Amino acid sequence: MRISSIAKSVVSGLAAGATAAVTAVQDNVITTGEGITIVLAVLGAWGITWAVPNKQPSAGA
């Protein structure tokens, strides 16, 4: 199965953002610092996903 880089980036950004958001809403309030942390988590996940290339399929597969 071939997954595009864009789909991989979207999923990684959603996962990172959701994880940070769940942690941030434990006290039912999202502060400015927590909002920034959520945004940085999403941007960091996108950057790392963009920097790591997809594995090329082997010749036998």
Residue 60 belongs to some domain of the structure: no
Residue 61 belongs to some domain of the structure: no
Structural domain count of the chain: 1
In the prediction, which pLDDT does 9 show?
84
Token code pair at residue 59: 């010749």
Where is 7: in which H helix or E strand?
Answer: helix 5-24
Q: Is the dihedral of CA 8, 59, 1, 4 positive or negative?
A: positive
In the prediction, which pLDDT does 52 show?
78
Token code pair at residue 20: 């940070």
Residue 56 belongs to some domain of the structure: no
Residue 37 belongs to some domain of the structure: yes
Domain hosting residue 24, numbered range: 5-51
CB 38 within 8 A of CB 20: yes
In the prediction, which pLDDT does 40 show?
95
- In the chain, which residues have pLDDT < 70? 1-3, 5, 60-61
Q: State phi, psi for 36 to the nearest 5 degrees.
A: -65, -40
Give counts: helices (H), strands (E), the chain. Answer: 2, 0
Whole-model pTM: value is 0.76
